[in-house]
Amino acid sequence: MVEPGERVGADVLTDRLGYLLKHVQARLAEESARALEPFGVSGRELAVLAVLGESRPISQLEGAGRLGVDRTTMVGLVDRLERRGLVERRRSEQDRRKNVVALTPDGEDLLRRAEEARRRMERAFLEPLGDAEAERFVRLLRLLLNDGGSR
Protein backbone atom coordinates (compact mmCIF):
# COMPACT_ATOMS: atom_id res chain seq x y z
CA MET A 1 0.00 0.00 0.00
CA VAL A 2 1.24 3.50 -0.85
CA GLU A 3 1.53 5.87 2.07
CA PRO A 4 0.17 9.43 1.74
CA GLY A 5 2.81 11.67 0.14
CA GLU A 6 4.82 8.68 -1.10
CA ARG A 7 5.79 8.85 -4.74
CA VAL A 8 5.55 5.86 -7.03
CA GLY A 9 6.43 4.82 -10.54
CA ALA A 10 8.19 7.22 -12.87
CA ASP A 11 8.18 10.05 -10.30
CA VAL A 12 10.59 8.09 -8.13
CA LEU A 13 12.77 7.27 -11.12
CA THR A 14 12.91 10.81 -12.50
CA ASP A 15 14.79 11.85 -9.37
CA ARG A 16 17.64 9.57 -10.45
CA LEU A 17 20.35 11.06 -12.64
CA GLY A 18 21.19 7.71 -14.26
CA TYR A 19 17.57 7.14 -15.25
CA LEU A 20 17.26 10.62 -16.74
CA LEU A 21 20.53 10.45 -18.66
CA LYS A 22 19.79 6.98 -20.00
CA HIS A 23 16.32 7.84 -21.24
CA VAL A 24 17.23 11.23 -22.68
CA GLN A 25 20.17 9.60 -24.49
CA ALA A 26 17.86 6.90 -25.85
CA ARG A 27 15.48 9.56 -27.21
CA LEU A 28 18.41 11.44 -28.73
CA ALA A 29 19.70 8.23 -30.35
CA GLU A 30 16.28 7.59 -31.90
CA GLU A 31 16.07 11.13 -33.27
CA SER A 32 19.64 10.90 -34.55
CA ALA A 33 18.95 7.62 -36.34
CA ARG A 34 15.90 9.16 -37.99
CA ALA A 35 17.85 12.25 -39.09
CA LEU A 36 20.75 10.19 -40.49
CA GLU A 37 18.62 7.51 -42.18
CA PRO A 38 18.51 9.33 -45.56
CA PHE A 39 22.32 9.28 -45.61
CA GLY A 40 22.67 5.59 -44.82
CA VAL A 41 25.03 6.13 -41.90
CA SER A 42 24.76 5.56 -38.19
CA GLY A 43 25.77 8.08 -35.56
CA ARG A 44 28.98 6.12 -34.95
CA GLU A 45 29.84 6.11 -38.64
CA LEU A 46 29.19 9.85 -38.85
CA ALA A 47 31.50 10.36 -35.87
CA VAL A 48 34.22 8.43 -37.74
CA LEU A 49 33.72 10.61 -40.81
CA ALA A 50 33.85 13.74 -38.65
CA VAL A 51 37.12 12.70 -36.98
CA LEU A 52 38.67 11.73 -40.31
CA GLY A 53 37.46 14.93 -41.96
CA GLU A 54 38.74 17.40 -39.42
CA SER A 55 42.45 17.39 -40.26
CA ARG A 56 45.22 15.52 -41.99
CA PRO A 57 44.69 11.82 -42.72
CA ILE A 58 45.19 9.78 -39.54
CA SER A 59 45.76 6.12 -38.77
CA GLN A 60 42.92 3.84 -37.73
CA LEU A 61 44.58 3.58 -34.32
CA GLU A 62 44.65 7.38 -33.91
CA GLY A 63 41.01 7.54 -34.99
CA ALA A 64 40.04 4.81 -32.53
CA GLY A 65 41.75 6.75 -29.74
CA ARG A 66 39.94 9.97 -30.65
CA LEU A 67 36.59 8.17 -30.73
CA GLY A 68 37.19 6.08 -27.62
CA VAL A 69 36.60 2.76 -29.39
CA ASP A 70 38.77 -0.34 -29.58
CA ARG A 71 40.82 -1.20 -32.67
CA THR A 72 38.52 -4.01 -33.77
CA THR A 73 35.47 -1.75 -33.68
CA MET A 74 37.33 0.92 -35.64
CA VAL A 75 38.40 -1.58 -38.31
CA GLY A 76 34.77 -2.65 -38.77
CA LEU A 77 33.56 0.95 -39.01
CA VAL A 78 36.26 1.90 -41.53
CA ASP A 79 35.62 -1.28 -43.54
CA ARG A 80 31.92 -0.37 -43.92
CA LEU A 81 32.72 3.21 -44.88
CA GLU A 82 35.40 2.07 -47.33
CA ARG A 83 32.99 -0.37 -49.03
CA ARG A 84 30.64 2.57 -49.59
CA GLY A 85 33.45 4.64 -51.12
CA LEU A 86 33.36 7.23 -48.31
CA VAL A 87 36.90 6.66 -47.00
CA GLU A 88 40.12 5.21 -48.36
CA ARG A 89 43.11 3.61 -46.73
CA ARG A 90 46.53 4.55 -48.08
CA ARG A 91 50.19 4.74 -47.10
CA SER A 92 51.18 7.71 -44.98
CA GLU A 93 53.29 10.25 -46.83
CA GLN A 94 55.20 10.97 -43.60
CA ASP A 95 55.78 7.34 -42.58
CA ARG A 96 55.61 4.72 -45.34
CA ARG A 97 55.29 1.97 -42.69
CA LYS A 98 51.95 3.35 -41.56
CA ASN A 99 48.53 3.33 -43.23
CA VAL A 100 46.21 6.29 -42.87
CA VAL A 101 42.51 6.74 -43.55
CA ALA A 102 41.11 9.74 -45.38
CA LEU A 103 37.73 10.85 -46.67
CA THR A 104 37.01 10.52 -50.36
CA PRO A 105 35.20 13.36 -52.15
CA ASP A 106 31.95 11.38 -51.69
CA GLY A 107 32.77 11.04 -47.99
CA GLU A 108 33.38 14.78 -47.67
CA ASP A 109 30.05 15.52 -49.35
CA LEU A 110 28.12 13.06 -47.19
CA LEU A 111 29.83 14.37 -44.06
CA ARG A 112 28.80 17.94 -44.88
CA ARG A 113 25.16 17.03 -45.58
CA ALA A 114 24.77 14.57 -42.69
CA GLU A 115 26.40 16.97 -40.21
CA GLU A 116 23.91 19.67 -41.19
CA ALA A 117 21.05 17.22 -40.62
CA ARG A 118 22.56 16.25 -37.25
CA ARG A 119 22.87 19.89 -36.20
CA ARG A 120 19.23 20.59 -37.17
CA MET A 121 18.08 17.52 -35.23
CA GLU A 122 20.06 18.55 -32.15
CA ARG A 123 18.68 22.11 -32.27
CA ALA A 124 15.13 20.71 -32.48
CA PHE A 125 15.85 18.23 -29.68
CA LEU A 126 17.11 20.99 -27.37
CA GLU A 127 14.45 23.51 -28.42
CA PRO A 128 12.36 23.07 -25.23
CA LEU A 129 15.32 24.51 -23.29
CA GLY A 130 15.62 27.71 -25.31
CA ASP A 131 18.88 28.86 -26.87
CA ALA A 132 20.66 30.11 -23.73
CA GLU A 133 19.75 27.08 -21.62
CA ALA A 134 20.62 24.67 -24.45
CA GLU A 135 24.09 26.24 -24.75
CA ARG A 136 24.50 26.09 -20.97
CA PHE A 137 23.35 22.45 -20.89
CA VAL A 138 25.93 21.43 -23.50
CA ARG A 139 28.62 23.40 -21.68
CA LEU A 140 27.75 21.63 -18.41
CA LEU A 141 27.82 18.21 -20.08
CA ARG A 142 31.30 19.01 -21.45
CA LEU A 143 32.39 20.05 -17.95
CA LEU A 144 31.15 16.75 -16.49
CA LEU A 145 32.79 14.76 -19.28
CA ASN A 146 36.14 16.52 -18.97
CA ASP A 147 36.13 16.58 -15.15
CA GLY A 148 35.15 12.91 -14.96
CA GLY A 149 38.55 11.86 -16.25
CA SER A 150 40.34 13.51 -13.33
CA ARG A 151 38.94 11.25 -10.61
The model's pLDDT over 50-61, given as tens digits with 9 standing for 90+, comes to: 999 987 888 888
Dump pLDDT digits (tens) for 89-110. Answer: 988 777 777 789 999 999 999 9
| CB 92, CB 98: distance < 8 Å | yes
Whole-angstrom distance, CA of residue 7 vs CA of residue 19: 16
Beta bridge partners of 101: 58, 89
Give every residue of the chain whose pLDDT is below 70, as ranges: 1-10, 148-151
Structural domain of residue 49, as residue ranges?
10-139
Does some domain include residue 90? yes
Does some domain include residue 145? no
Q: Give me the number of domains the chain comprises.
A: 1
Whole-angstrom distance, CA of residue 43 vs CA of residue 27: 13
Does some domain include residue 108? yes
Does some domain include residue 59? yes
> 90: domain CATH number?
1.10.10.10
Q: What is the CA radius of gyration of the chain?
A: 20
b (16+ CB within 10 A) / e for 85-108? ebbeeeeeeeeeeeebbebeeebe
Whole-angstrom distance, CA of residue 106 vs CA of residue 81: 11
